[in-house]
Amino acid sequence: MLNFTKFERINPEKRDVLQRLKDYNEVYQVFEKQRAKEQADRCMQCGDPYCHTGCPLGNFIPAWLKQTAEDNPDLAFALSNETSPFPEILGRICPQDVLCEGACSLNTGHGAVSIGAIETSLNERAFEKGMKPKFTEIKSDKKVAVIGSGPSGISAATFLLRRGIAVEMFEREDRAGGLLMYGIPGFKLDKTTVDRRINWLLEAGMKLHLNCEIGKDKSVEELESEFDAVFVGIGAKAGNWAKISGEDSSNVHLAMEFLTGLQKRNMNNKADYIDVKDKNVVVIGGGDTAMDCVRSSVREGAKSVKCLYRRDEANMPGSKKEVVNAKEEGVEYLFNVSPKSIISKDGIATGVELLETTMSEPDESGRQKVIINEGSEFVEEADVVIMALGFAPEVPAFLAQANIKTNSWGGIEINDKFQTSNTKFYAGGDCRRGAHLAVTAAVDGREAAKEIIKALM
Ligand SMILES: Cc1cc2nc3c(=O)[nH]c(=O)nc-3n(C[C@H](O)[C@H](O)[C@H](O)COP(=O)(O)OP(=O)(O)OC[C@H]3O[C@@H](n4cnc5c(N)ncnc54)[C@H](O)[C@@H]3O)c2cc1C
Ligand code: SF4
């Protein structure tokens, strides 16, 4: 350990740009065993490890880095899976620069330990050797329903099954995984990694009901009578519009409509998707979802792809590495522009009218406001406009039927035990936080499962 002067920080290699534009396969390669070992060997084994605090799951990072560096892959695998329901997935998609790696003591000078890449590698190498996450053989007589198969639902199911509690998962889509399956594109997360985790839950005894929407195909009353507790992990997928004139044009779409259509086509060969080949695509928004839209558009063969964002590059909310990847792939950025209207003819958008903006001086909290420069209008031509302006919870009717209270923006209210106002129902993930991260959804699922276990056993 402590070999951070011997080995410099290395990021996983990326596939060549021209190759990666031809498909939706993952951009980053998984570290070879020796590379993961060397990179783990850089860890200083801090007495009070900040990386552990920076990780929302509180993963035992220095412990599994040490076991990786000292060539104890079985122990590294066990430690990594102890606190995380799907470490190989989070190693791929967490914004590590603001989480574990951002908090690493080496981040200030020598370069943080490449924690995410090592986490993915140690797990993938273990799977290659036939290792699997462990579930208990002892089964209790308790039964929990999990609504939604996204990261919060998968996490809740994992930790419940580990304690021998029977789980039935209900998912309205035709495949499990939530946004891991039909949101995050394959170039960031290979879908087989999601299927693999779901299959292990099925092997551990979980029953999965696909194409089953709670409130429509199965009622709240049925859940209440059949199960000892219910975990609600229904996400927050309702896209926000810019609320400007012309956005009802037929070629203006919400980000999820675009991304989900492409991913369903990629997996099921269904033809129902938004075709942007040879078109000028304009994506409005500057977060991770916008990056996924622009990067999907270049893979679809769009004529030009532009990302419009109302702040400057330094204030972009998404992961910095994804912005770099998008630039490499040919995406153009227009910073400091705010959409005023969609220019359309006969119900079809031909461009976006924009206003230039300036950033104010930072206030006491350091936040800079967006100032619209009146009279600075100009038009950016577009054949397809995609709105990637964040998400809100959907607030389905079954919540009220179950007496589950929501707050002013539609988020499910919970107490410190993850219980909703109906104490048989627990909730977590985006449906209670608002659109957030896979890792925080995983935390909620794990913590809610612990509370359910305490209440039932
Ligand atoms: C395009 C995109 C890219 C992202 N990229 C990243 C990233 O790189 N890194 C990261 O950490 N996070 C990323 N996120 C955020 C992350 O995906 C979410 O925070 C996370 O998936 C939330 O998990 P969840 O379980 O709360 O909800 P979801 O993943 O949304 O899952 C909810 C599930 O519930 C199902 N459901 C809803 N209502 C019902 C019902 N009535 N009955 C049955 N099933 C129902 C839905 O179909 C869905 O499958 C991204 C999000 C998007 C949209
Ligand atoms: S789960 Fe995310 S934050 Fe935690 S160690 Fe893994 S990559 Fe880092």
CA 261 – CA 85 distance, rounded (Å): 28
Domains of the chain in sequence order: 17-128 (1.10.1060.10), 143-236+392-456 (3.50.50.60), 241-389 (3.50.50.60)
For a mutational test of ligand 2's pocket, the pick from 81, 439, 443, i.e. the residue with the most ligand atoms closer than 8 A to its C-beta, is: 439
Given a cut of 90, whether residue 66 has pLDDT beyond it is: yes
Least-confidence region, from 147-151, 313-317, 344-348, 424-428: 313-317
Does residue 444 register a pLDDT over 70? Answer: yes
Out of 84, 121, 124, 319, give the residue to mutate to test ligand 2, the one with the largest number of ligand atoms within 8 Å of its CB. 84
**Percent of the chain surpassing pLDDT 90:** 90
Number of C-beta neighbours around residue 375 at 10 A: 7
The number of CA neighbours under 13 Å toward the Cβ of 146 is 38
pLDDT tens digit string along 136-147?
888 899 999 999
Mean pLDDT across 382-411: 96
Ligand 1 atom 1: residue of nearest CA: 289
Range in 40-49, 266-275, 432-441 with the lowest mean pLDDT? 266-275
Q: What is the pTM of this model?
A: 0.95
Look at ligand 2, atom 6, and give the residue with the nearest C-alpha.
91
Contact 313, 333 (CB under 8 A): yes
The pLDDT tens digits of the residues spanning 333-375 come to 999 999 999 999 999 999 999 999 999 988 888 888 999 999 9
pLDDT for res 271: 62
Comparing 30 with 108, which gets the higher pLDDT? Answer: 30
How is the chain split among helix, strand and coil, in percent rounded to 5? 35, 15, 45
- Asked if the model's pLDDT at residue 154 lies above 80, the reply is yes
Q: What is the DSSP letter of 28?
A: B
For residue 269, pLDDT over 80 is answered with no
**Atom 49, ligand 1: residue with shortest CA distance:** 178
Token code pair at residue 58:
């509180």
Specify the pLDDT at position 423.
96
Give the pLDDT confidence score for residue 6 in this predicted structure.
Answer: 85
| Atom from ligand 2 closest to the CA of residue 99 | 3
Q: How far apart are CA 216 and CA 224, in angstroms?
A: 15
Q: What is the DSSP letter of 41?
A: T
